Amino acid sequence: MKLFLDTAEIDDIAALNSTGLIDGVTTNPSLIAKSGRDMVETIAEISGMVDGPVSAEVTATDSDEMLAEGRKLAAIAENIAVKVPLTPSGLATCKALADDGIMVNVTLCFSPAQALLAAKAGARFISPFIGRLDDLGRDGMGLIADIVTIYANYDYPTEVLVASVRGVQHVVDAALIGADVATVPPSVIHAMYKHPMTDKGLEAFLSDWAKTGQSIL
């Protein structure tokens, strides 16, 4: 499963991208607003840092303006995936952009029916928001399982991009189900490294090695 970073913070992207474990980045207007930077400049810098897809979201709500914004965002770099909401106008924009060979990430998906429409519109990625469903007492990961099954039934090429990830278990569950991508905040990536037994084992190894008085170098 691919791992995308869900952030617009340049320093976090640079640090984690250097590990070679990051496959792309997702952003949205809220994340860029938090960074306090210009949207186009931020997207351009991020897309130049990472080799994989960088999702950049339109802010318009009607089809014509969405399409114009989508084409402007796509022109920033070849690895831009234009992000559109799962609305009638968003799906119309998705179809038009996809027909032009532009990657599209359809976001704010909360049902299997919505995901089916996105696939038929030619979306490269569908972004179901599992954390927000879990907050309402709904089965966010059940949605992922349903979408994975539907896409497999009809061999849709749309990739399931698990969004609104709140912790490591969400990532593990998504991988077990067979999702293509999970987009996660930097804090979740850092948490994935951690296990108390790893820390305890390393402490013991280092203590034993220190007692030998040896050095590998």
Instruction: Tell me the β-bridge partners of 125.
Output: 105, 159
Are 16 and 195 in contact by the 8 Å Cβ rule? The answer is no
Are 104 and 123 in contact by the 8 Å Cβ rule? The answer is yes
What per-residue string of b and e applies to 144-167 under the rule 16 or more CB within 10 Å gives b?
Answer: bbbbbebbeeeebebbbbbbbbbe
First-last CA distance in the chain:
37
- N residues, the chain: 217
Q: Cα–Cα distance between 25 and 76 in angstroms, integer?
A: 15
Q: Which residues are catalytic?
A: 83
